[in-house]
Amino acid sequence: MKKILIYIAMQSEAQPIIDTLGLEQVSILPAALPMKSYQGEDGKQQYLIVTGGKSDLYDVDNVGTEPAAVGLQAALNLFDADLVINAGTAGGWQNKGTNIADVFLGKSPVRYHDHRIPIPTFEAYGKGSYPCIDTSDLAKQLNLKQGFISTSNSLDYNEDCDRLMKQNQADCKEMECAALAWVCHLYQKPFLPVKAITDFVDGEHPTAEQFQANLARTCEALRDAIIKILKIV
Ligand code: ADE
């Protein structure tokens, strides 16, 4: 059976997918880690969903690159996945024709827009440039968009982020994908990012307000896309 590992940072992004696939919570990850894991199968494929879990210090979901990298690495040591999917939400750009709840499949390369190391030999390393699988056929079959994904550890952005997001031709601004793509590069795992848009980076309203207002319906769109993708991959 094909093994599919799905990393999802936030519980509210993951729960509709966990429920639809009928997965059971399991305790397979090292006890020290806050990430949660859910397992199950459908006769054709075996699934492991890993979420970032909650921070015991701050009582919020463990979003961002460190939990993503640590969680995926721990999971890959226990579950030798044939495919790694990153499902999550992202900011998008109105001026590129994006709508709220649009779902994007990632395009190579996945990059950072906050790892600025202005030393010539380190600059490219800082930006990163990590591959994902070719999603052209999948996008056509499911009528989904394809886009470049740009990662940082901030929900907001400054002028430098903006400059680098433009360089990255970003369609999706989010907080985990490049770190996960790096782990997949190390472990030589095919990587498929799937991002659903909760907010406009170029919108008039504060990102946090847009994010809260659109989260539920965007997570439903994300679930619908993931379920269709799992029938094809
Ligand atoms: N996740 C959802 N929207 C986001 C944004 N605008 N920036 C970073 N991560 C996000």
Tens-digit pLDDT profile for residues 183-232? 999 999 999 999 999 999 999 999 999 999 999 999 999 999 999 999 99
Cα(140)–Cα(142) distance, integer angstroms: 6
User: Nearest CA to 50 among 26, 80, 83, 16?
Assistant: 26
What secondary structure, in 3-state letters, does 125-180 show?
HHHCCECCCCCHHHHHHHCCEEEEEEECCCCCCCHHHHHHHHHCCEEEEECCHHHH
What residue type is 163 in one-letter code? R
User: Nearest CA to 65 among 143, 128, 5, 158?
Assistant: 128
> Active-site residue among 102, 114, 176, 199?
199
Average pLDDT over residues 120-131: 97
Ligand 1 binding pocket mutation candidate from 103, 207, 209, 219 (most atoms within 8 A of CB) = 207
Q: Is the CB of 90 under 6 A from ligand 1?
A: yes
Q: Is the CB of 218 under 6 A from ligand 1?
A: no
Q: Taking the C-alpha atoms of 185, 186, 191 and 196 in order, what is their torsion angle to the nearest 10 degrees?
A: -90
pLDDT in tens, 92-115: 999 999 999 999 999 999 999 999
pLDDT in tens, 136-192: 999 999 999 999 999 999 999 999 999 999 999 999 999 999 999 999 999 999 999
pLDDT band at 119 (very low <50, low <70, confident <90, very high): very high
pLDDT band at 82 (very low <50, low <70, confident <90, very high): very high
User: Nearest CA to 47 among 93, 12, 85, 88?
Assistant: 85
Average pLDDT over residues 42-50: 97
The residues, ordered by sequence, that sit 6+ positions from 21 with a Cβ below 8 Å of its Cβ are 40, 42, 47, 49, 227, 230
H-type alpha helices, the chain: 11-21, 65-78, 120-127, 136-142, 159-167, 177-187, 207-232
Cα(41)–Cα(39) distance, integer angstroms: 7
Ligand 1 binding pocket mutation candidate from 112, 164, 174, 201 (most atoms within 8 A of CB) = 174
Query: Which residue CA neighbors atom 5 of ligand 1 most closely?
Result: 91
What residue type is 62 in one-letter code? N
**Ligand 1 midpoint to CA 1 (Å):** 34
Query: Which residue CA neighbors atom 7 of ligand 1 most closely?
Result: 155
The residues, ordered by sequence, that sit 6+ positions from 206 with a Cβ below 8 Å of its Cβ are none
pTM of the full predicted structure? 0.98
